[in-house]
Amino acid sequence: MAQGLLDFTLENSSPMISYAPSISVSPGSSQTEWQINQTVDSLTYFTSHPGASLALQFYGSAIYLYGSASCPFNVTLDFETTSPPMTTEGFIYFNEDLVQELHLLNLTVGGTGGPGEEIIIDHATIVTEYTSEQSPISVVYGSDPDDHALVYQESWVVLNDSSIQTTSFEASVSVNFTGIAVAITGPSGVGSSFMEYGVLLDSWPAWSFVSFPVGDSDTTLFYQGGLDPTQEHSLELMNFGSVFQFNSITVWQTNSSSATPITSSPVASATASAVPETGNSNDSAVVKIVAPIVAVVGLLFLSAALWAFRRQRRQRRRVVPLTGPFALRFSRTFNDQKGDTMTLANLQPKSGTANPNSFDVGHLQKA
């Protein structure tokens, strides 16, 4: 069977990327921390502070980090440290020769030589391999009242922009699926509030995330590729803070997936071609990124342990009503696309904030 490549574009505002020592959206010098330059349609993260760093844990066979660098920096991928050359455009780091498994990337800024020298982060591209004769198709789960795939616990509200919000601590939403990858999208924060949440994929421990409220209405809250399309997977998302909001849960499925999607359509602008099969199977793994907010992290891991315990008790008496399909996401932004590469369109942002509908414990009701 033929093998293809699946590229996922991870926004710089994703909570999967952890910035240290801190982030500021206020005007100021990038010598002190990571700064954010926000325009109508883009966010730019930049710093020139010696010792400032970012961390990204990902599952894949290649990684590309896009931006520019006019000051020295080091990149440690797993246990190997390199000093890439400074560059003014394109990607500032890439590695295409990875074993498809869980990796940890850490970028650290070195000393600066003068004004205007800085590191700018635009986005990252994560590449995973999949084996199929068919191009992936997308399945999107959201606020459709006729879509009973998602199982909700506690109180959730559907907003006018079709995003879904809760203010209930430990409120959760879960889904069963088959496919090669899964992504959760949502805002970077609710108003000026951080979002604290956990994601449990299959039998892995529940990992915790903190999102920084930078005004991005549609970013990646969680992504996992390289899943086994012949096995059923389970995904659970839980609120650990005062408020949490997400837009959708998206999966991509190939003909190797066993389940039939409830709603699916070919991904717009998706193109793929086969490459010779090289033999490695795609094992399941989870992306784990914990934001460098020490006080919050302790609470999140405590909440995650409590969640795992509560989830075990709840599963003894709850029957999940869906066995659904799932599978993948996103796009490589190279100008030079290769024939053995698949490009997937990004999900589109949404807008609006009212709350006409509410649903509780998986049952949709009128407010």
- The CATH homologous superfamily of the domain defined by 137-339+355-362: Galactose-binding domain-like (2.60.120.260)
Q: Are 228 and 179 in contact, with CB atoms under 8 Å apart? A: no
CATH topology identical between 3-131 and 137-339+355-362: yes
Q: Are 183 and 126 in contact, with CB atoms under 8 Å apart? A: no
Q: What is the pairing mode between strands 23-24 and 34-38?
A: parallel
pLDDT in tens, the chain (367 residues): 678 899 999 999 999 999 999 988 766 555 668 999 887 778 889 998 899 999 999 999 999 999 999 999 999 999 999 999 988 778 899 999 999 999 999 999 987 656 778 999 999 999 999 988 788 888 999 988 777 899 999 999 999 999 999 999 999 999 999 999 999 999 999 988 999 999 999 977 778 999 988 888 899 999 999 999 999 999 999 999 999 999 999 998 987 764 333 333 333 222 232 333 333 333 333 333 333 333 334 444 445 554 554 555 444 333 333 223 322 322 333 233 343 434 333 333 333 443 333 333 333 333 3
The CATH architecture to which 3-131 belongs is Sandwich (2.60)
Query: Taking the mean position of all CA atoms in its chain, how far away is CA 190?
Result: 17
SS3 of 291-324: the string is: CCCHHHHHHHHHHHHHHHHHHHHHHCCCCCCCCC
SS3 of 217-232: the string is: CCEEEEEEECCCCCCC
- The sign of the torsion formed by the CA atoms of 144, 149, 150, 156 equals positive
Look at residue 248 and give its three-state secondary structure. Answer: strand
Q: In what order do the strands lie in the sheet with 151-153?
A: 151-153, 172-177, 233-239, 195-201, 207-211
In terms of Cα–Cα distance, which of 46, 57, 55 is closest to 23? 46
Cis (ω within 30 of 0) for the bond into 21? yes
Kindly list the domain boundaries of the chain, sorted by start residue.
3-131, 137-339+355-362
